[in-house]
Structure formats: C-alpha cells, structure tokens
Amino acid sequence: MTRIHFAADHGGYVLGRALEARAVAAGFDVVWHGADDLDPGDDYPVFAIRVARAVVEEQDAGVDSFGVLVVDEGFAGVVAANKVNGARAVTAASPRAAVATREIIDANVLVFDGIAFEESAWLSVSAFVTASMPHVVDHGRRILQIEEFENAGTVEGWAVQLETEQIAVQHG
C-alpha cells in the first residue's frame, strides 16, 4: 500500500488537512508530520525536512512512499525539502505536470502553495503517487548524475555505466 507523508505550515494548513483527509478516504496509508492545530507562528523548513526525511528513509527501505507538503510559498518548501539527501521535491501546476515529474526525475515530494485549489491539488496528488518512472536509460542516467553530485560533489558519470540492454524497454 502506498504511504503518503503530509505536512503543512500555517499558510497551507487548511489545504494540507483537506488533502490528508482525501488520501485517507482513498485508501492510502497516511502519516501527518505537521502541527496538530493551526499555528500562525510555525516555520515551513521543519515540516519540509520531516516529510522529505520520512520519504527518503522509507524509499531506501523499499516502502512505496511519497511526500506532500503544503506551505505558504511552495517554492520555499521545495528548497527546504531538497536539502535532504535523496529528496527530489517539486511543484506541479497540474496532474499532467505531476506525472511528468515522476516520469522524468522520479520526484518523491510534491509541494503546493497554500492557496492552491483543493480539487486541482488532489488530482495532482493522486496522479503523482500512482505514476511510475518508465525504464528509460536517459532519465535514469540523469538522476544518477544528480545523486552523484549530491553525494560526491562531482558529475563525472562514475555512478553510471548503463547500456541500453540493462534497461527494460517499453514498447508502445
């Protein structure tokens, strides 16, 4: 079962809780990392880091896990979440964009502005957590280059020596 880690700051609390409730109703395993009550003085980095850490740790352990963060300013949440090694946090303005982030960079945390429309945000969350990354050599190689820089500070390709035959080819 797919697990979704949710959190929100004061600017996204109402939407974050609404998305959490929708995910529960849809049958997802849900974990809330935000405050129990709306706190006008809270800060987004704490929540972004909590969600990103939980997702990365669980994905590393083989759990089908994603994060959803709703903050006053989405771009700020993206920056904070991406400070966690292994997090690939993004914003997406539509379900189609959410799917593309999964297909191209295997994004694992989806971030919304607190003023996003609930229905549109939910459709994007649903699309995000049900999409998968196709087996494409170029996408995999680029993700590994990002991880190489994240871990070693280089982009020399030492982590990537893939041949086309090593990747399952999808036929349309």
Whether 35 and 95 map to the same domain: the answer is yes
Q: Is the pLDDT confidence value at 43 over 90?
A: yes
Average pLDDT over residues 30-52: 97
Q: What band does 139 get if pLDDT is binned at 50, 70 and 90?
A: confident
Whether 35 and 58 map to the same domain: the answer is yes
Can you tell me which residue has the tokens 């929100």? Answer: 8
* Strands laid side by side in the 109-113 sheet: 29-32, 3-8, 65-71, 109-113, 89-91
Query: What's the angle, vertex CA 77, arms to CA 8 and CA 122, rounded to 5?
Result: 55
Q: What band does 163 get if pLDDT is binned at 50, 70 and 90?
A: low
Residue 142: per-residue pLDDT: 85
% of the chain at pLDDT higher than 70: 91
Residue 34 lies in a domain: yes
Residue 140: per-residue pLDDT: 83
% of the chain at pLDDT higher than 90: 76
> Distance between CA atoms of 14 and 23, rounded to whole angstroms?
14
Whether 8 and 91 map to the same domain: the answer is yes
Q: What band does 159 get if pLDDT is binned at 50, 70 and 90?
A: low
Whether 115 and 33 map to the same domain: the answer is yes
Whether 50 and 31 map to the same domain: the answer is yes
Q: Is the pLDDT confidence value at 158 over 70?
A: no
Residue 27 lies in a domain: yes
Whether 60 and 36 map to the same domain: the answer is yes
Which domain covers residue 147, as residue numbers? Answer: 137-166
Residue 171 lies in a domain: no
- The tally of domains found in the chain comes to 2
Whether 23 and 97 map to the same domain: the answer is yes
Whether 125 and 70 map to the same domain: the answer is yes
Residue 70 lies in a domain: yes
Q: Is the pLDDT confidence value at 143 over 90?
A: no
Whether 32 and 47 map to the same domain: the answer is yes
pLDDT per position as a tens digit, 102-114: 999 999 999 999 9
Whether 91 and 124 map to the same domain: the answer is yes
Under DSSP, is residue 92 helix (H, G, I), strand (E, B) or coil? coil
Whether 95 and 25 map to the same domain: the answer is yes
Residue 172 lies in a domain: no
Whether 83 and 161 map to the same domain: the answer is no
